[in-house]
Chain A
Amino acid sequence: MPKMLMTGNAAVGEAAIRAGCQSYYGYPITPQNELTEYMAANLGRRPGCAFVQAESEIAAINMVYGASVAGVRTMTSSSSPGISLKQEGISYLAACQLPAVIVNMSRGGPGLGSISAAQSDYFQSTRGGGHGDYRTIVLGPGSVQELADLTHHAFELTDKYLIPVIILGDGMLGQMMEPVEFSHEAPEVPPVRQDALRGAKGRPSRFVRTFTSNPPDLEEVNWSLFRRYQLLQKNEVMWENYMTEDARLIVTAFGIAARIAKGAIKQARANGLKIGMFRPITLWPFPGEQLKALSKKTKFFLDFEMNMGQMIEDVKLSLEGAGDVSFHGRPGGVIPTPSEVLRVITRIYYQKGLS
């Protein structure tokens, strides 16, 4: 099929429908409204599908919880302040081991913050986000095409591991248009999960719960989650190495920041500087081993984020002291330019004596 020019928000919606998403619940918040609107127009009236503009993000995530219990592929989306409200529901989804896809077109924070693109929700996304000992799978796309591809992947992952997936985009990815191609057609008959609650017909009744009065039962749930987290770490990490082969300084960045960094790196290469980039695509599980492997080639890293340093903790943990990690960050929804990043790269390159 031909490429289409779409906003990131619309591309997520289209990709979700093509992944067999049957229900979407959302609440208006900038900069992700186009996604809610896309689902209202394109999912709501499809046979067997449901769209509800919920009364709050809390209601929306709990509708997702209900839909997931009933076994259909389901999604909600919001932006940073709304994602904070959803954390209660995400914790319950994690506890009940229910699949769901949650999209965060993140914006500047804390508080109401700004509506401009930011990456300040990295901690919230990769550390569980709500209460309790759990993680979610976190995907960090860097283009509209990748948003579409990772949306499809998110539905596969969440069904396979029964762990909610967060797509951590940002306001810019959501708002901007780029050519995009979809590699899947919507299934004729959308999948229904085997263990769905659809009434005790021909089988004993079942229940889905999170509360137990017996701590060892909960410990077993935690262990079961943890074993799957280990599997994820082993089998599902995604990352991109860009010009790392001969790099003396490696930039670590994700999402839109990685994209901006790439522009700077191209320019730096043209100036004769040996710069590369490591871009995690799964932000959780973090591709730590893959990053550590790069420290055999150089020990100089520059972490660049649109926040005041969140992923840098994972970078340092992964390098286990084997790297010299500098940092450049712009918080608040300020969009740094490639030439700004180029200046930082160049300064550090010479300061560290890498020329």
Chain B
Amino acid sequence: MKKVFTRPVSLKNAVFHYCPGCGHSIIHRITCEVIDELGIQDRTIGVPPPGCSVFAYYYFDVDMVESAHGRGAAVATGIKRAYPESIVFTYQGDGDLAAIGTTETLHAANRGENITAIFINNAVYGMTGGQMAPTTMLGMKTTTSPFGRDGKLEGHPIKMSEILAQVEGSCYVERVAVNSPANIRKAKKAIKKAFQNQIDGRGYSLVEILSPCPTNWKMSSVRAWEWVDEVMSREFPLGVIKDTTGKRSAD
């Protein structure tokens, strides 16, 4: 019988600890598929953050090193500079990349560090219990914006991808989502391109992924998928934000 679906080699045979409907497990899987397809499992080093994906090393079958909160881009810089033959990716949430690690992220991008950033934007701090994130929607209620995020008091959803696209050292920035089979396919393509850019030595690539968090959004999984379309992607429009690689698709 012909096998049409199987676990990627670089994804460990383990049960995800993520909540039902969470985007992390999908993103893990498609990232592993990309690692397999590019044949880079034996030289990839992942840098997961504190947060829900702190245990990413239980799932990714590649070398991984946990970074301090927000420092992924600096850690990745250290690895890549020390061992340029490696393929280094950071896996960062919105609190990690867009709040506490803004500086490290922006400057790694500006230096054109030849690394790949997978940026999970789910508009909340997940692991700590649903606090307001830098990417929380205006009006959205979280445990630390119980009356809804008010731009005058709590600032506005920050668009890191657009900011990072402005610096000379970033070569590719795309925003995708994992809330439908079609979007998941696009997300995988973007991730693949972001890794291919690194293989080609093009500099800093970032893929922002709008990712559902049904638990902290207090929605069903299906409703959370819809909410990504109806609300999140209005604030954070999907598509290529910057591409200096000549529009080549990794496929």
Q: Is A56 an interface residue (CB 8 A)?
A: yes
A88 at the interface (CB under 8 A from B): yes
Cα–Cα distance between A62 and B96 once the two chains are bound (Å): 14
Per-position binary interface string of chain A over residues 194-225, scored 1 when its CB falls under 8 Å from any chain B CB and 0 otherwise:
00111111100111111100000000000000
**Interchain CB contact under 8 A, A211 and B82:** no
The contact string, 1 if C-beta is below 8 Å from chain A, for chain B 122-138, is 00000000000000000
Q: Are A211 and B75 in contact (CB under 8 A)?
A: no
Q: Is A232's beta carbon under 8 Å from chain B?
A: no
Q: Are B65 and A208 in contact (CB under 8 A)?
A: yes
Interface contact A69-B107, CB-CB below 8 Å? no
Q: In chain B between 63 and 119, which residues have their CB closer than 8 angstroms to a CB of chain A? A: 63-68, 71, 74-83, 85-87, 103-104, 106-107, 111
Establish whether residues A209 and B79, one from each chain, have CB atoms under 8 Å apart when the complex forms. Answer: no
Known: A22-B82, A88-B68, A197-B79. 8 other contacts (CB 8 A): A55-B103, A58-B71, A62-B71, A63-B75, A68-B78, A69-B75, A92-B68, A206-B64
Tell me the complex Cα distance, A287–B64, Å.
38
Given contacts A23-B78, A23-B81, A62-B78, contact A198 B68 (CB under 8 A): no
Report A29-59 CB contacts with B as 1/0, cut-off 8 Å: 0000000000000000000001010111011
Q: List 8 A-B residue pairs with CB atoms under 8 Å apart, sorted by A's residue number.
A: A55-B107, A60-B74, A62-B74, A63-B81, A197-B63, A198-B63, A199-B42, A200-B62
What is the minimal beta-carbon distance from A264 to any residue of chain B, in angstroms? Answer: 44
Contact partner of A59 (CB less than 8 A), chosen from B41, B44, B54, B103, is B103
- Which of B63, B66, B75, B103 makes the CB contact (< 8 A) with A199? B63
Chain B residues whose CB sits within 8 angstroms of the CB of A201 once the complex forms: 42-43
Is A59 within 8 A of B42, CB to CB?
Answer: no
List the A side residues contacting B86 at CB < 8 Å.
70, 198-199
Assembled-state Cα–Cα distance A37/B171 (Å): 30
By the criterion CB–CB under 8 Å, are A89 and B63 in contact? no
- Interface magnitude class on chain B: 35 or more
Question: Which residues on the B side are within 8 Å of A54 (C-beta)?
Answer: 74, 107
* Residues of the A chain whose Cβ atoms lie less than 8 Å from the Cβ of B106: 55
Contact, CB under 8 Å: B42 / A209: no
A71 at the interface (CB under 8 A from B): yes
Among A62, A68, A201, find the residue whose CB has the most chain B CB atoms closer than 10 A: A62
A62→B108 CA distance, assembly (Å) = 12
Q: By the criterion CB–CB under 8 Å, are B103 and A69 in contact?
A: no
Residue A349 CB within 8 A of the other chain? no
Given A89-B68, A197-B63, A209-B65, is A65 in contact with B75 using a C-beta cutoff of 8 Å? Answer: yes
B76: chain A residues within 8 A (beta carbon):
66
Contacts of A89 in B (CB 8 A): 68, 71
How many residues of A are in contact with the other chain, CB < 8 A?
41
Cβ-closest chain B residue relative to A206 = B63
Write the chain A residue with the least CB distance to B69. Answer: A88
In the complex, which residues of chain B have a beta carbon less than 8 angstroms from the beta carbon of A25? 78
Which B residues form the contact surface with A (CB < 8 A)? Answer: 41-45, 47, 50, 54, 57, 60-68, 71, 74-83, 85-87, 103-104, 106-107, 111
A218 to chain B, nearest CB (A): 13
A74 interfacial by beta-carbon distance below 8 Å: yes
Given the complex, which residues of B lie within 8 Å of A62, measured CB to CB?
A: 67-68, 71, 74-75, 78, 104
A197 and B103 CA atoms in complex are apart in Å by 25
Please give the distance in Å from B42's CB to the nearest CB on chain A. 4
Among all A-B residue pairs, the 9 with the closest Cβ atoms: A66-B78, A199-B43, A62-B74, A207-B57, A50-B81, A63-B78, A55-B107, A70-B82, A62-B71
Q: Is the CB of B77 within 8 A of A52?
A: yes
Contact between chains at B82 and A208 (CB < 8 Å): no
Provide the residues of chain A in CB contact with B71, threshold 8 Å: 58-59, 62, 65, 88-89
- Provide the residues of chain A in CB contact with B78, threshold 8 Å: 23, 25, 62-70, 74
Say yes or no: is A72 at the interface (Cβ < 8 Å to chain B): yes
Inter-subunit contact B66/A208 (CB<8 Å): yes
Residue of B nearest to A89 (CB): B68
Does the CB pair A200–B42 fall under 8 Å? Answer: yes
- Closest chain-A Cβ to B70's Cβ sits at a distance in Å of 9
Q: Is the Cβ of B57 less than 8 Å from the Cβ of A209?
A: yes
User: Given the complex, which residues of A lie within 8 Å of B54, measured CB to CB?
Assistant: 209, 211
B34 to chain A minimum Cβ distance, whole angstroms, is 16
CA–CA, A96 to B80, complex, Å?
19
Closest residue of B by beta carbon distance from A92: B68
Residues of B within 8 A of A205 (CB): 60-64
C-alpha spacing A62/B90, complex, angstroms: 13
